[in-house]
Amino acid sequence: MRKEEEDVKEEEEEMRKEKEARLKALVAKRKLLQHRLVQRKREVDSIQVEKNQSDQDLETSTFVTKQKCLQLREQLDRDRQVARKKLVDLTTQSAAATKKLQGVISKGEKILRLSEVCHKLQTKLKIPTLEHEQTFCESGNLQHHLNVALQHRELLRKQKQDLIRENRQMELLLQHMKDGPLMVFPALSLSVPPDAKSADGTALCGGATAPPDGPTDSDHN
Up-side HSE of residue 178: CA atoms within 13 Å toward CB? 9
Q: How far apart are CA 100 and CA 163, in angstroms?
A: 11
Please check whether residue 166 is in contact with residue 75, taking contact to mean a CB–CB distance below 8 angstroms: no
Exposed / middle / buried, residue 108 (Cβ in 10 Å: 0-12, 13-18, 19+)? buried
Higher-confidence residue of 190 and 63: namely 63
Length of the chain: 221
List the domain boundaries for the chain: 83-220
67/3: higher pLDDT = 67
Mean pLDDT of 90-97: 86
3-state secondary structure at position 144: helix
Is residue 7 over pLDDT 80? no
Helical pair 130-179 and 2-124, crossing angle rounded to 10 deg: 160
Rounded CA Rg of the chain: 52
pLDDT digits (tens, 9 = 90+) for 115-150: 787 777 767 665 444 454 455 555 566 677 677 777
- Output the average pLDDT for the chain: 73
Q: With beta carbons less than 8 A apart as the criterion, state whether 101 and 159 touch.
A: yes
pTM of the model: 0.37
What pLDDT is recorded for position 141? 66
- Residues facing residue 203 across a β-bridge: 197
